[in-house]
C-alpha cells in the first residue's frame, strides 16, 4: 500500500523527526532538505505478530550535507 503524500524525489521538505513513543515521544527539528530517494519497505513479521507495514523510508539530503532516512510522518512537503 503506497500512501501518496506528495513526497517525491526533488521535493523540498521540512523535517521534524519524531523519536520514541508514548510519554517518551519527542520531536527533533532537523531543518530543510531535498528528497533524493523514496525506499519502499517490506512488511515485517515478529513471531506470530504481523505483518506490520512501516511505510517507506524517505532519504533526504539535509542542509548539513548529510543524507539521512526518515519516516514519512517526520516529513512535511514545502515545494515539490
Go through the chain and tell me how many residues it has: 80
pLDDT digits (tens, 9 = 90+) for 17-60: 989 889 999 999 999 999 999 999 998 888 888 788 888 999 99
The rounded distance, in Å, linking the Cα atoms of 74 and 15 is 6
Angle at 40 between CA 36 and CA 43, to 5 degrees: 155
**DSSP 8-state symbol, 2:** -
- Bigger pLDDT: 12 or 21? 12
Query: Which pTM does this prediction carry?
Result: 0.81
Phi, psi torsion values for 73, nearest 5 degrees: -70, -15
Amino acid at each position: 500500500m503506497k500512501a501518496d503524500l506528495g513526497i517525491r524525489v526533488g521535493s523540498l521538505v521540512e523535517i521534524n523527526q519524531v523519536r520514541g513513543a508514548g510519554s517518551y515521544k519527542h520531536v527533533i527539528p532537523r531543518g530543510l532538505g531535498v528528497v533524493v530517494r523514496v525506499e519502499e519497505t517490506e512488511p515485517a513479521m515478529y513471531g506470530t505478530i504481523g505483518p506490520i507495514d512501516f511505510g517507506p523510508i524517505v532519504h533526504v539530503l539535509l542542509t548539513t550535507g548529510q543524507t539521512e532516512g526518515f519516516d514519512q510522518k517526520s516529513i512535511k512537503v514545502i515545494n515539490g
